[in-house]
Amino acid sequence: YPSYVGAQGLGGTYREYLQAWIDAVGAENMLALSHDYYPFGTESTNTGIFSDMEDMRYIAYQNGKLPTHAFLQSTGWTNMRMPDMDEIRWNAYSYLAYGFKALSYFNYCNPGASGEGFDVSLIMPDGTIPDRQLFDDVADFNWSLRLLGTELMNLDAVHAYHTTSRYAGTEVLPSNFFIRPDSSCDFVISLMESKDDTGYSVMLFNN
């Protein structure tokens, strides 16, 4: 679950819920710690996703540096909008900045199932492509993600610092960090360590 299920559904804080899940399954039995959080509502974007990503990053790191997985929103349904290319790119890069190792699309192909009110997707149930430019842009984007994967799969996010304090539940960049952008910038600056103990890397995400 994402955190917006609420404390009653989660049985505590989001971190407690994630840890309880790992305890129940056993970290040694998990290919990845995964959730689905869809930020693009009909009228707004829910930036509470950053708090969930931080909790996922922290709990996975504390439990043997478990790989993390998430679903990118790529369809519209009841009370949710179909994102454009900039939003899909933002959705993906924000997860990468938090060290997520696997990304899937929800949905690349619209399932056409009744009940959730699925609307436009990259591919419709009958195989048609409603927005050829968006489809081609996402296809190109997938290749760029694969190229980044060569580096990112060997890195674990130790911290994902925000340069602004506007996002609840996230880490704010320390005043003594060696990278200090202008205070008006809205960045995520991730400190990542290599799995082979060869050193550290920094990822800059323009939010």
pTM: 0.95
Neighbour count for residue 96 (Cβ, 10 Å) = 20
Whether pLDDT at 164 is above 90: yes
Residue 28 CA: distances (Å) to CA of 24, 32, 66, 67, 98: 11, 10, 9, 12, 22
Q: For 52-64, what is the mean pLDDT?
A: 98
Q: For 30-59, what is the mean pLDDT?
A: 97
User: What pLDDT does 136 receive?
Assistant: 98
User: What pLDDT does 8 receive?
Assistant: 84
Q: pLDDT band at residue 142, thresholds of 50, 70 and 90? A: very high
Whether pLDDT at 183 is above 90: no
Question: Using CA atoms, how far apart are residues 109 and 201, in angstroms rounded to an integer?
Answer: 35
Neighbour count for residue 9 (Cβ, 10 Å) = 10
Whether pLDDT at 112 is above 90: no
Whether pLDDT at 113 is above 80: no
User: What pLDDT does 182 receive?
Assistant: 81
User: What pLDDT does 120 receive?
Assistant: 93
User: Parallel, antiparallel, or unpaired for β 171-172 and 200-206?
Assistant: unpaired
Strand order across the beta sheet in which 102-106 lies: 33-35, 68-73, 102-106
Whether pLDDT at 194 is above 90: yes
User: What pLDDT does 7 receive?
Assistant: 82
Question: Using CA atoms, how far apart are residues 47 and 40, in angstroms rounded to an integer?
Answer: 9
Phi first, then psi, for residue 106 (nearest 5°) are -125, 105
